[in-house]
Amino acid sequence: MTRLPNRLDGSHLEALNVAFLQILEAVGEDPQRQGLAKTPGRAARSFEFLTQGYRQTVEEVVNDAIFDSDASEIVMVKDIELYSMCEHHLLPFIGKAHVAYIPDGKVIGLSKVARIVDVFARRLQIQEQLTTQIADALMQALHPLGVAVVIEAKHLCMMMRGVEKQNSIMTTSCLLGVFKEDARTRTEFLALLK
């Protein structure tokens, strides 16, 4: 896959800057007032960071961190913090991912699991798709016996607007391979989540 730049080029940042300036004007603000004078540029750089997953690939973040291993039991990384942006309202959703796999001769460096989560979380997303993308990416990178991903998140698009339900948490899961096919493996995974 083609390597993408880690940062937006000047023309893309300038386009974001102009867009945020227009948003400020559209809501009735004076973008020249002291508190807002530098806001469009800051917001552009912030948005660049929040969407950096578009400029990363799984292959790039995994690099050479796949190792031969005789491990054959569940490998799980719990409570991986994630921050993403709802593609419907451009508001954040914040939560944690729990990612597990059963090796089939290969394991992946521990930090790489969290980096895979970030590649997809740092894009405009819906949680359902994010969960599946993480599971599919780990399956393709490692070819394990199975992958399980559970994400729990709070969505500001539901908390700050609309129904305004502050304590709602969305949970999604994606089970592949033996986690989907074998009830005992699935039960073990769910027990480890607690």
**Catalytic residue check, 157:** yes
Q: Which of 89, 129, 152, 188 is catalytic?
A: 89
Task: Give residue for tokens 């300036």.
Answer: 21
Q: What span, in angstroms and rounded, lies between the C-alpha atoms of 97 and 80?
A: 5
**Catalytic residue check, 98:** no
**Catalytic residue check, 155:** yes
Residues forming CATH 3.30.1130.10 domain(s) in the chain:
65-193
Query: First vs last Cα of the chain: how many Å apart?
Result: 38
Identify the pLDDT of residue 1: 42
Q: Which of 98, 127, 133, 174 is catalytic?
A: 127
Quote the pTM value. 0.92
Q: Which of 56, 86, 98, 125 is catalytic?
A: 86
Whether 174 and 148 have beta carbons less than 8 Å apart is answered as yes
The fold of 10-50 is: GTP Cyclohydrolase I; Chain A, domain 1 (1.10.286)
Return the closest-CA partner of residue 156 out of 92, 77, 70.
92
> Residue 165's pLDDT band (boundaries 50, 70, 90)?
confident
Task: State mean pLDDT over 154-173.
Answer: 92
Q: Tell me: domain 65-193, CATH 3.30.1130.10, correct?
A: yes
**Catalytic residue check, 59:** no
**Catalytic residue check, 88:** yes
Q: What span, in angstroms and rounded, lies between the C-alpha atoms of 45 and 66?
A: 33
**Catalytic residue check, 143:** no
Q: Which of 56, 98, 133, 155 is catalytic?
A: 155
Residues forming CATH 1.10.286.10 domain(s) in the chain:
10-50
Percent of the chain whose pLDDT exceeds 90:
89
pLDDT digits (tens, 9 = 90+) for 24-71: 999 999 999 999 999 999 999 999 999 999 999 999 999 999 999 999
pLDDT at 3 over 50: no
pLDDT digits (tens, 9 = 90+) for 105-149: 999 999 999 999 999 999 999 999 999 999 999 999 999 999 999
Q: What span, in angstroms and rounded, lies between the C-alpha atoms of 30 and 53?
A: 32
